[in-house]
Structure 1
């Protein structure tokens, strides 16, 4: 932070234009407009696929709270991952409080990378997630169709696997069910059928 610059506060997030997402990282405000359509598609598709199997137990084991863009408060840090999940056994009353944020560290986070956020997501945010005790982190890149899976290690994040394209994978911590990566990428336009 520069000299004479005051630390960012939650009021700075509240003052952002409608539709912007704000985070406070190391006392600095980071603000971005809502993501592009392909980014929203990937986050929505992944949330739906994991939510059905792991939150609702439809075709899967259940046992998780999977949330889209939850606001996480870690002391003065305010982070908004694209998706986050808590094991229900560790957080049985997670949704009972009325606050619009969560102060319990998730077990899993997922960031969908975009050109404007990739450096922050791969850098400081990933470091903060590790510092706060998150056990798994995913980085999804919709432009190159990849999923990177990180597992918490003793000295930092360890890349557990990197998958791409239309692979069907078992991705920890959700490896109890297969994940069809081909369903994540935005469908391509097809020409209208001829007469």
Structure 2
């Protein structure tokens, strides 16, 4: 660790910074990979999209790729600990997508009937956890990206549960009540 700062939102030609606002960075565990939202149009070659996009950058190789090439992305995203997977929202209405940097493609998209509020990838990138808003039930769903199986973690409408992901397990929790403790 050198403590040096590196510009992540650099133009495709490497000569200047991005020509639009960038925000919402998510960083891999080792700091090599950064996913971020940007309205800049010079981060990748021939960017003709309308609206903002989610990008993924390898800070060692200097490679920047568009994760949401259709544009219309939402400035919410999550990255796996190793930087391989990026979860983001895009489209109208927005759907959740999981993009794989090794395949340079989306490997999962929520069904068109699904609505959601919040989402997070597990550190190993194998589970996408999100708060469903389908039928306003606000259930917490864990989608296993390896098997394709969905698991309802919580469907308690009254608690508006938060979601915490820990290694390969996802579990809901609510704000602790007086004297209550949670296992870590």
* Bin for the TM-score computed over the shorter chain: 0.3 to 0.5
Higher relative contact order (CA 8 A, sep 6+): 1
- What's the TM-score once normalised by structure 2's chain length? 0.32
User: Between Structure 1 and Structure 2, which shows a larger proportion of helix residues?
Assistant: 1
TM-score (norm. length: structure 1): 0.31
